[in-house]
Structure 1
Amino acid sequence: MAVTGVPANAALPNEEGTFHAETQGDQGVYSPYRPSSAYQAGNLSIHLTAWTDWQHGIWLSLNNGAAFRITTSENTSAPPTVISRGNGFMVFHTGQGGQIYYAVVNSNGSNDGTWRAVPNARTRDYTPVGATTGFGGRGVLAWRGATTDNIYITSVDGTTNSWNTPVQAPGATTYTAPAITYNTATDSYLVAHVGTDTHMYTAISDYPYYNNQRWTPWTSHGGNAYGQPAVAPLNNGHWVAAVMGGDQRVWQQELDPNGVSYSGTNWGQESTATPVGTVPWLVYNAARVWLLISTYNQGQIMWKQTVRE
């Protein structure tokens, strides 16, 4: 990532200068792939972290407790994605052949040991998905198409648990996974993807999974990004975005409510300039955003506070 005129280590508001080791039980957590984590909405005491081991098994840890699995045979081809929903969490993963699956984990870590297929949702092998908790408690899912480079979005209803028919995000193509997040301050969604030109693009939508969807034009943020971006909301209606640059460092910026670079921020390198082995993840809760990474070579999962409002 190299953007003319942008200072390296341009910190976000109240960004920490040190990473901390993610733990499960009394042990560190290691993965060669992107980790994922979510807090139960408005509750800083309950969070679920998910990662993939070297044999493509999915592991989870509730509140840094001992690691556990949904099953021992999911054979995922991409890292899992976690969101909060209701009194618990949803975990998504891409199975062999590109079928997207989900499981429900309760706030105490219990689950029924079952991965279920998301209807009409298939991507490429080795490609993760984007997901967020949306309006009315919906779980909203975004993915790259299985046979095209288009982006598709669907949601599961917060009351009936029925899935909507997927819709295509207009005017977007990507070689990797998109990211999506929801901001309660503006009642809108931010969708981000790395385009086929390696620039990150963002657009705002109010109901991205309905056919009467309304979208803003895609905004290019330039750069030289690789893989899936990470996005998170802020309480003031702004957003935070993070990507892995071609230098294997994390680059971040604050966006205004329209998904445009907030005045004076643009891309800045994460403050410690720690080399990463894969793309980052952002976690939001209670006016804070945390950054999760997997370090280069060792694959140790680390975290730090990257924004505090």
Structure 2
Amino acid sequence: MSLDIPVIDFYPFLNGTDEDREKISLEIGKACRNVGFFYLSNHDIPSSLIERVYQQAEHFFSQSIEEKMKLYIGSCPYGNNRGYTPMFEEKLSPKGDLKEGFDLAMELPADDKDRIERGAILYGPNFWPDNLHGFRECIYNEFYLKMLSLGEKLFEAFALSLNLPSNYFKSMCQKPMVTMRLLHYPPQTIVQDEDQLGCGAHTDYECFTLLSQSNQSGLQILNNKQEWINAKPISNTFVVNIGDLMQRWTNDQFKSAIHRVINTSGTTRYSIPVFFGPNYFTKIKSLINDEKEKYEPILAGEYLTQRFNDTYQYRQTNSSSTL
């Protein structure tokens, strides 16, 4: 992995010629192979909208714990890993993470055919608060759906960078598993216990992540010298990183880099990650035909379900959620 995280201007890909798109896809491919992370600028998501999402996040997390626990992820009636995650619920740090979150994904009916007849347990409705005016409209109808469109464009860039047709992933992302999170980290000025960080060292599970950081630093990436480097916030950019499914899909050509969060800013930190996966029943097997496959083929939904089972405490104590 390189020592530096490149900044890639996405405007030419969104608005330019075929040559522009090829050039940007090559830059993205280089970053994915060498670093596993890059910043994406000129991505066409209005900064004013992102700011309103942060405002909604602050409103949600400022509520009492009793109010937030009404939406506890372990109480979600659909068992599809959506709702509120309190402090220490996730165990990317051995003793639990110093963060709280709110998880949502693609809004699908409870009687979705794939969910009911084929066991796609990560599909279904979201678990929304009913006491926050405008929360769902801003978070889902405005921001989430725009991020879906941006993710589709990034899939096109990844395809071109792998010498595939730009629409290669399209049929596998008609009903994608795309999870968005609102995250709140309290300040951790002094790390008293390495086993209890804001977010412990890990790789992401899906194909790639688009992360909006607030102005507070905290994200750190492990480079090839085994040094933690800071991914400082850059205004009006998303941090993009490759996840495990894409590393498997590319037979390790794209790197799913280890990262963590320690909020040493001295103040509250918010972030908004959006994790992009394909359709539940997409078979993940190597796209690289001239190399021996390093991983056994696996269905994307089964892989993500197992990773959630390994991470969330409620899924380890509630047997009904691990079916």
Work out whether the TM-score is over 0.5: no
| TM-score of the two chains, using structure 2 as the length reference | 0.26
Q: Which has the higher strand share?
A: 1
Higher relative contact order (CA 8 A, sep 6+): 2
| Larger helix share, 1 or 2 | 2
Query: What TM-score, normalized by structure 1, do the two folds share?
Result: 0.27
